[in-house]
Amino acid sequence: MKNSISRILFITAVICLAFTRFPPAFDSPITDKCEDLFNHGKYEQTITLLKSFHETNPDDPDVYWMMARSYYRIGESIPIEKNKQKKLRMYKLSEI
């Protein structure tokens, strides 16, 4: 019984530390703005803002994630019959 309680307390402590150690994604004003642009379908503007943010924050994984999502959405919006090369280029860019 004592071992079970110790294990539960240990697991609870590890979980609590994990959540305090890693902040939630998209917690900066820039990434919040990018998320808002993305949610309104303004993918090119999202990418432009992310590229400028990336210059000062090259190790931010949220930048890569949001850029990949934006390039993918641009690719999805291009009809393949109209511009297959551009569509494929957007998909390749999403593989950052």
What pLDDT sits at residue 86?
Answer: 85
What pLDDT sits at residue 44?
Answer: 93
In terms of C-beta distances under 8 Å and separation of at least 24 residues, what long-range contacts does 53-62 make, across chains too? 60/31, 62/25, 62/26, 62/31
| Residue 4 tokens, joined | 């079970």
Of the CA atoms within 13 Å of residue 79, those in its CB half-sphere come to 2
Each of the 96 residues of the chain gets a pLDDT tens digit; together they read 556 666 665 666 556 555 544 444 445 677 788 889 999 999 999 999 999 988 888 888 888 888 899 988 998 888 888 888 887 888 888 876
Q: Is 41 left (phi over 0), alpha (psi -120 to 50) or beta?
A: left
Q: What class is the 27-93 domain?
A: mainly alpha
Task: Please choose, from the candidates 92, 14, 95, 25, the residue with its C-alpha nearest in 3D space to the C-alpha of residue 63.
Answer: 25
What pLDDT sits at residue 95?
Answer: 79
Domain ranges of the chain: 27-93
